[in-house]
Amino acid sequence: MTPLHTTSVRRRRLGAAAAAAGLLATLLAAGPAAATPDPGDAPAERTPSSEQAAAAEALTRSGDIPSVDEVVHSGNIRHLANVPKDALPGTNSDLAFQGRYAFAGNYDGFRIFDIRNPRDPKTVAQVLCPGAQNDISVSGNLLFLSTDSSRSDDSCASTSQSATEKSSWEGIKVFDISDKRNPRYVAAVETACGSHTHTLVPERRDVYVYVSSYSPNALFPDCRPPHDGISVIKVPRNAPEKSRVVGFPVLFPGEGPDGGGNPGGPVNPGVSKTTGCHDITVLPSRDLAAGACMGDGILFDIRDPERPKVLDQVQDNVNFAFWHSATFNQDARKVVFTDELGGGGGATCNPETGPNRGADGIYDIVGKGDGRKLVFRGYYKIDRHQAPTENCVAHNGSLIPVKGRDIMVQAWYQGGVSVWEFTDSTRPREIAYFERGPLSTDTAATGGSWSAYYYNGHIYSNDITKGLDVLKLDDRRTDPAKRVRMRELNVQTQPDYLDRSGG
């Protein structure tokens, strides 16, 4: 762990300038192979115009945004630790938790941390297994990774290979983590169009995996349109080598080559055509799931996990470009959907983009049973404007479990980490934040917090370039959550916090 950067506690100003613009490495391959960036989350670096670079420099000089790499935060957050990247140089991605361990995805594999002391996380293992995004989840002794870049085979020594080749492989990899220091690769399941993300629906004897993927192409033998659903994998806990696809439920039935999802442009300019789902969050205690599916948000019933049933489908063709992820509130009366405008690479936290695009959309769930509907109530977006060189948009977050309040923590790439409340769906507000200044005022490089989640009293953020950050939130509105203890947390498999939440 390296020393923390200088930290400033101050309220960000939005002035005139803002308006103007101990290692055990478990290596399963000889060396990292390049992972192919995937649409929706890992855009390539881009060169800003001279005007944008000048504007970024002016913003840092004026103090309206932090200087390069400077850490700033609200007074109710403390930055406890940062663990930089080590043997895995790729893009850091998602997080999962179990007991005293945090599991961090990376485009080149995954890393396991011992977080027993949140002030000093220790690396337990690093596993080299390239395959973007390496979206990660854990359940019992099993760890799951998503591969959504076309590979030469399903091994951890694979290389990039065109999706036009029938022999190419994408899908889900399964590891045995009963020995955290020596994870063991035990199974792989190929899925149509790969696995951009995945969601676990755990049962006692088996684990169901909902696989989200998109962007089919007639030239791809294993990913041809229509691709209007999700792959469902059944994983026997005691025999993961027998894992298999048990179904492909269609979530967007309809006429035409792409089913009944959002047609996108030119019918709906600036909106993604729905050709699958980006991410799904399940609430097993309520037999509910919410899907963020490119041009659509959906609510569905998962009482039969192999045959989910859509209850409602909504679109926002004015402000939402790419439905990215979803979060239920504690009593399953609301869903927060995120819009990843610009695919994660755009500088969208600025006055020109405005407060309603690249934001969260808050929806109430009204009605009962099969008649439940999603009703839009409001938007939330951070008001701390960022430099033209900073990618910033709504991304992965989780609830902070406080009884009687709806509060979540969320990653905003280079916009940092935001803690915000939506108890009143129509009047959301930020209550805490943490961020760094831009990676550069000359080059628009992709960086910032990919995922920011609350787990057992602390916030953990997996920064794309800077590594793992640990934050401590001290605020009377969120302090009751410190009494909530989880044995395991995969944010997209949302627990029922109600029987654990403090008053």
> What would the pLDDT profile of 141-188 be if each residue is shown by its tens digit?
999 999 999 999 999 999 999 999 999 999 999 999 999 999 999 999
Q: Is 83 helix (H, G, I), strand (E, B) or coil?
A: strand
Q: What six digits make up the tokens of 62?
A: 């004026």
- What pLDDT shows up at residue 7? 62
Band (52; pLDDT cuts 50, 70, 90): confident
Which pTM was predicted?
Answer: 0.92
User: 7-9 and 71-73 as β-strands: parallel, antiparallel, unpaired?
Assistant: parallel
> Rounded to whole angstroms, how far apart are CA atoms 33 and 39?
19
CA distances in angstroms from 278 to 193, 294, 373, 417, listed in the order given: 12, 6, 21, 21
Question: On the CB side of 234, how many CA atoms lie within 13 Å of its CA?
Answer: 12
- Write down the pLDDT at residue 63: 73
| 3-state SS assignment for residue 17 | helix
Of the pLDDT bands very low, low, confident and very high (cuts 50, 70, 90), residue 19 is very low
Q: Give the whole-number percent of the chain exceeding pLDDT 90.
A: 83
Closest CA to 228 of 273, 265, 266, 168: 273
Residues paired with 128 in a beta bridge: 109
* Buried-state track 341-369, b at ≥16 Cβ within 10 A, e below 16: bbbbbbbbbbeebeebbbbbbbbbbeeee
Q: What is the mean pLDDT of residues 43-56?
A: 66
Checking if the pLDDT of 277 tops 90, the result is yes
pLDDT tier at 386, thresholds 50, 70, 90: very high
Which among 172, 132, 73, 127 has a CA at the least distance from the CA of 344? Answer: 132
pLDDT of residue 21: 31
Q: What is the distance between the terminal CA atoms of the chain, rounded to a whole angstrom?
A: 36
Give me the residues paired with residue 376 across strands: 363
Strand 244-247 relative to strand 231-236: parallel, antiparallel, unpaired? antiparallel
Give the pLDDT score at 43.
Answer: 44
Per the structure block, which two tokens stand in for 228?
Answer: 């209007």
> Is pLDDT of 330 > 70?
yes
CB 97 within 8 A of CB 455: yes
pLDDT of residue 24: 32
- Model pLDDT for residues 209-233, shown as the tens digit of each residue: 999 999 999 999 999 999 999 999 9
Place of tokens 């960022």: 386
Residue 391 is encoded by which pair of tokens? 């990618």
H helical segments located in 354-435: none
Give me the CATH code for the 7-21+23-253+267-489 domain, please.
2.130.10.10
